[in-house]
Structure 1
Amino acid sequence: MKETLSKKETPVIIGAGIIIGVIAAALVYFGNPANMGFCIACFLRDTTGALGFHSAAAVQYIRPEIVGLVLGSCILALATKEFKPRGGSAPVSRFVIGMFVMIGCLMFLGCPFRMILRLAGGDFNAIFGLIGFIAGILAGVFFLKKGYTLKRSYKMQPVEGGIFPIVEIGILVLLIAAPAFIHFTEVDGGPGAKHAAIAISLIAGLLVGALAQRTRLCMVGGIRDVVLFGEWKLLLGFIAILVSAFIGNMILGYFNPGFAGQPIAHTDGLWNALGMALAGFGCVLLGGCPLRQLVLAGEGNTDSAITVFGLMAGAAVAHNFGLASSGEGPTANGKIAVIIGFVVLIVIATVNSVRKSEA
């Protein structure tokens, strides 16, 4: 029965991946930064800056794609009766892990989603990120096998699950109204100044959010499931994104193979790898990548909402304290923060691991 179900799900997941890859390439055509049709880490960072939580002028813009992801997931979850508010599973730990996942992503300059899109655009620096990402996931799997868990979550009232989607609607209103206290990038060439029209970005986010909710797409979950269970269906979805985005980039003339001169990227292979290793490790401890956390938050999961707030806090910390990399490479502060991140995550993973015989 399980094998039959898997066979039915796999074509749907691959189809969703193809559509998402096309959308990502199209968003670049409509104005998003190159190799950044979608990047959860970058878009949360931009939104955090627009709300005034960091002052890096080059990366401040409320990204409608984030709003769309959450609302697309929420709408489909409500329609399919999968909106199930739950929470209460180690919220402080999730917040802290989320912070360090973002710090790792901003060392690499992209989340797992953007790592795939950078590869599809010919950015070979992302190969080092992928190697580190897999290594980080393997570290997380090691602790899973030791019994790691953040314990169970609990059923909550619908209003609790609805708060985060409502917050996202409020953020969309702020984008459209553009009051004086919202910050928008005016720096020529800054990533925050490059974006598709609001309606296009919002519709793209809604579509990707609904597709990701329907298929449970998660880059971390895909690799984890291959390692633990030999199950490829989730990973095939991201391979489909890679292939379709690559074809889209070739058609649109965005494919630029090489290491040097890549958009919003640096060439330090070691720290590209270590940044994504930290992100991969943290995402396994959280139970999903940043994309998956947004989708779960849309389904009413308050633990994932707390994680997203942790990611945003990590973006604020990274830019307020000079931790984020740039096209020039990683900073000394960023390197120290990544090392601290590994120590913190190992401590959290160890403390929350129990022997299988005691579980």
Structure 2
Amino acid sequence: MNLKNEKTAIILAGLLIGVISALLVVFGNPANMGFCIACFIRDTAGALGLHQAAAVQYIRPEIIGLVIGSCVIALVTKEFIPRGGSSPMTRFALGFFVMIGCLMFLGCPYRMVLRIAGGDMNAVIGLIGFIAGILVGVFFLNRGFTLKRTYSLPKIESAIFPTAQIVLLILLITAPVFILFTAVDGGPGAKHAAILVSLGAGLIVGILAQRTRLCMVGGIRDVILFREWKLFFGFVAILVAAFITNLITGHFSLGFIDQPIAITDGLWNFLGMLTVGFGCVLLGGCPLRQLILAGEGNTDSVITILGLFAGAAIAHNFAMASSSKGPTFNGKIGVIIGIIVILIIAVANTKKEKLA
């Protein structure tokens, strides 16, 4: 595919993804949360009993669909490549603190775009922090940051995570007593589109994201590093399509106050997303991209996702996640620690002579 056709494909995929994301709200998902990788991982973690926040416990079919969609199309196109072994514990730690940043801001980079498309100006502050974090990460990339090479693995190793998604789907449909579904009326976990609608949306977005390599972090990173705009165009296309769809469906409300599932504290919106941008650059992709890579057989991304799950569990078990009331003291401490830890990881994995 030549560069022009590739850009066109990314823009078209972004437009479709933006429409799908906005329509999921119409079909029942929480406002400005047609898709949110961080929030949906948190909800799934709650359903599995990893945290006890009753308002956010639901196995999200969108996550299942993203992984399965990516896996199926990767198998069809022979792009399913079992690989891994690149600094697993470091990736786990980065995933953990990326989730802490997401739950401070109340959303992943994907939801940040959807919040802006819904008129939430708090998310614009988050975007500025996100870009700042990416700039810091690029500083280290330019000086030789690396998490070392990956290795070829047996196919069974990379098949476990996609298979686990099928198990989660069965648990969602059968709803056994040991799976926790939100008991709080009106809580985010109680708001969801029908299973088939959510699963179908996830499958479509998973396929499109796999074919186009769509990544929220990658779009901005590539502009800074290489002056390459194609992934950024996908970023913008999602924003434009979701914005227009929100206007048509009456789900647009411009302002800072009374935005759904958001905090108005500018400093912590900024720092939360700075943490996310910084961590994701070092990881090589945003949470959405990690799910897509996991579907392609990359177990390094699976380790990152497990870190995201652990971060979600700890954030809610230790009162670190923000709410509509604002950030918590524990959450602020968690973000500060996260920035320090990510900085230490960046320095420790960068060639010393280039830092001097």
The reply to whether TM is greater than 0.5 is: yes
Contact 2:263 2:325 survives alignment (8 Å) = yes
Out of 214, 224, 228, the position equivalent to 2:225 is: 228
Deviation at 1:8, TM superposition (A): 1.8
Contact 2:133 2:278 survives alignment (8 Å) = yes
Cα distance in structure 1, aligned partners of 2:5 and 2:247: 31
The residue number in structure 2 matching 1:48 is 45
Q: Does 1:276 align with 2:273?
A: yes
The residue number in structure 2 matching 1:147 is 144
**Structure 2 spans left out of the alignment, 5+ residues:** none
Deviation at 1:355, TM superposition (A): 5.0
The residue number in structure 2 matching 1:262 is 259
Cα distance in structure 1, aligned partners of 2:117 and 2:218: 20
The residue number in structure 2 matching 1:111 is 108
The residue number in structure 1 matching 2:25 is 28
The residue number in structure 2 matching 1:59 is 56
Out of 81, 85, 92, the position equivalent to 1:84 is: 81
Cα distance in structure 2, aligned partners of 1:114 and 1:288: 15
The residue number in structure 1 matching 2:346 is 349
The residue number in structure 2 matching 1:214 is 211
The residue number in structure 2 matching 1:332 is 329
Out of 10, 34, 38, the position equivalent to 2:35 is: 38
Cα distance in structure 2, aligned partners of 1:62 and 1:254: 25
Cα distance in structure 2, aligned partners of 1:255 and 1:87: 42
RMSD of Structure 2 on Structure 1 (CA): 1.1
Contact 2:28 2:193 survives alignment (8 Å) = yes
Q: Find the residue that maps to 2:120 and give its secondary structure.
A: coil
Cα distance in structure 1, aligned partners of 2:10 and 2:142: 27
What are the equivalent positions in structure 2 for 1:231-246 lying under 5 Å apart?
Answer: 231-246=228-243
Cα distance in structure 1, aligned partners of 2:187 and 2:354: 53
CA deviations over 1:195-222 (Å, ceiling 9, x no partner): 0000000000000000000000001011
Contact 1:149 1:352 survives alignment (8 Å) = yes
Q: TM-score, normalised by structure 1?
A: 0.98
Runs of 4 or more above 2 Å deviation: 355-358
Contact 2:216 2:232 survives alignment (8 Å) = yes
**Structure 1 spans left out of the alignment, 5+ residues:** none
Tell me the percent identity.
Answer: 70
Count of residue correspondences: 355
Contact 1:147 1:356 survives alignment (8 Å) = no
Contact 1:99 1:312 survives alignment (8 Å) = yes
Cα distance in structure 2, aligned partners of 1:351 and 1:259: 39
